[in-house]
């Protein structure tokens, strides 16, 4: 046991950081966010209905917790500096929305930017950190996503001129304001990986975006697999209370086979699982992906190790994540267009096992005992996900 533990610490020194002072986000946050589908077209009806569906669909019981507003809930500021809610879209205000979401056993997230404006040009929080964090706390907000537009100046939407020092400072200022508010709120840094936030984010918040925005359009395959590639090497920075965030889910917005691969891989990466589809109008197949409890259990494993790619043979890849009970979750990922057999040996995962029990987490079936290796036929742009144990 000690040997296994020291080996895991050698592979994933991030485990050691699990004593970080926070008790927030001890497993990757799970929820839903307005942005991927609705962009600026959001209102309180959408948010209330989505909270309702989170409960009625079984998503809440499967672990989804946060209902997160993204950009465009706000307008400008009052004369006294308080942020002004868009009362056409949110006539009841955010406090009433938070109360509603809480009454459903869920939590509310909000969005702002560490700049003069949000990415959509609404009032943002630079120089208003204390007043905004206190406002969020008074409303009963539980999660703050903090973006990176217009940080260099009111006319500069990009971040190119932002020094590392300023980058860290604007996020630290909001983190301190959240602390000063006295309300525990998960702090989600959204600076797109600029300035390697994995190296300093754990001191500031509970999760940090590592890369550019995920998208659900004709370029989505290239985009999300590119983001996936760039997670390799970041494993050691993740652990309970401090997570790499490769961005929200596009399950339900991309072809089914790809969605299974995307959800399997995000689970193995210990990524936050924040659904981005219209959950009020999703197909049974999409709901089945989002609520697969065996896959979610991999993502939410209490040891909180971020999995990685163990094997790459052209377009055939093997990703895996060690779990607290000594087993491994393994994703066989086929990037090609045609179905292919993908194999791995226990020794590819540095395991000296002879035989292993294999369970298919999508078929929800035990496949039996295997000696030395396992092979599965994997559809093009698809994945097979198994758990192997002794």
Binding residues for ligand GLA (CB under 6 A): 35, 70-71, 118-120, 147, 190, 192, 213
Residue (71 or 173) nearer to ligand GLA, CB: 71
CA angle 308, 311, 315 (to 5 degrees): 105
- Looking at residue 152, what DSSP letter applies? S
C-beta closer to ligand GLA: residue 188 or 267: 188
3-state secondary structure 306-349: CCEEEEEECCEEEEEEECCCCCEEEEEEECCCCCEEEEEEHHHH
Collapse the DSSP code of 2 into the 3-class scheme (helix H, G, I; strand E, B; otherwise coil) and give the result: helix
Report residue 344: phi and psi, to 5°.
Answer: -150, 155
Which residue in 381, 324, 293 sits closest to 15, CA to CA?
324
147 has catalytic annotation = yes
Spatial distance between the Cα atoms of 184 and 177, rounded to a whole number of angstroms: 11
Cβ at position 183, least distance to ligand GLA in Å: 22
CB of 102 to ligand GLA, least distance (A): 23
What angle do helix axes 129-139 and 164-181 make, rounded to 10 degrees? 40
Q: Could you tell me the smallest distance in angstroms from the CB atom of residue 224 to ligand GLA?
A: 14
Whole-Å CA distances, 335 to 84, 119, 183, 319, 380: 46, 33, 44, 13, 6
Measured from the CB atom, the residue of 42 and 106 that comes closer to ligand GLA is 42
H helices within 57-151, ranges in order? Answer: 59-62, 93-103, 129-139
Closest CB to ligand GLA among 254 and 376? 254
Residue 73 C-beta: closest distance to ligand GLA, Å: 11
* Set 52, 213, 348, 360: catalytic member: 213
Q: Are strands 328-334 and 365-371 parallel, antiparallel or unpaired?
A: unpaired
How far is the CA of 189 from the CAs of 138, 145, 170, 244, 386, in angstroms? 21, 6, 10, 10, 32
Which residue's CB is nearer to ligand GLA, number 67 or number 329?
Answer: 67
Contact 46, 38 (CB under 8 A): yes
Nearer to ligand GLA, 240 or 246 (CB): 246
CB 215, min distance to ligand GLA, A: 10
Residue 120 CB, nearest approach to ligand GLA (Å): 5
* Given the residues 142, 147, 173, 247, the one annotated as active site: 147
Residues with catalytic roles: 147, 213
């Amino acid at each position: 046991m000690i040997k296994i533990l020291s080996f895991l610490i050698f592979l994933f020194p991030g485990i050691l950081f699990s004593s970080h002072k926070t008790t927030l986000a001890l497993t990757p946050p799970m929820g839903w966010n307005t942005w991927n589908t609705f962009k600026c077209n959001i209102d309180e009806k959408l948010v209330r209905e989505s909270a309702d569906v989170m409960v009625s669909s079984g998503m809440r019981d499967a672990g989804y917790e946060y209902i997160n507003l993204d950009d465009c809930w706000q307008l400008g500021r009052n004369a006294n500096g308080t942020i002004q809610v868009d009362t056409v879209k949110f006539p009841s205000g955010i406090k009433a929305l938070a109360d509603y979401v809480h009454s459903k056993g869920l939590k509310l997230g909000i969005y702002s930017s560490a700049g003069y404006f949000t990415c959509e040009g609404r009032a943002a929080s630079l120089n208003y950190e204390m007043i905004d964090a206190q406002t969020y706390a008074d409303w009963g907000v539980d999660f703050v996503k903090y973006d990176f537009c217009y940080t260099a100046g009111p006319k500069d939407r990009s971040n190119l001129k932002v020094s590392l020092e300023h980058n860290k400072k604007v996020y630290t200022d909001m983190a301190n304001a959240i602390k000063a508010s006295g309300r525990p709120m998960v702090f989600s840094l959204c600076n797109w990986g600029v300035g390697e936030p994995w190296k300093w984010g754990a001191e500031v918040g509970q999760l940090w975006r590592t890369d550019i925005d995920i998208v659900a359009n004709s370029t989505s395959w290239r985009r999300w697999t590119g983001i996936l590639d760039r997670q390799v090497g970041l494993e050691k920075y993740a652990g309970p209370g401090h997570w790499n965030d490769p961005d929200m889910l596009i399950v339900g917005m991309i072809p089914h086979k790809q969605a299974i691969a995307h959800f399997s891989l995000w689970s193995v990466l210990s990524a936050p699982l924040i659904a981005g589809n219209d959950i009020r109008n999703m197909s049974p197949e999409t709901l089945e992906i989002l609520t697969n409890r065996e896959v979610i259990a991999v993502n939410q494993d209490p040891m909180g190790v971020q999995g990685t790619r163990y094997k790459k043979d052209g377009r055939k890849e093997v990703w895996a994540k060690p779990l607290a009970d000594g087993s491994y979750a393994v994703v066989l990922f086929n990037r090609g267009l045609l179905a292919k057999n993908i194999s791995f040996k226990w020794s590819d995962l540095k395991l000296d096992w002879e035989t292993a029990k294999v369970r298919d987490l999508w078929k929800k079936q035990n496949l039996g005992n295997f000696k030395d290796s396992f092979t599965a036929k994997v559809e093009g742009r698809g994945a097979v996900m198994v758990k192997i144990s002794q």
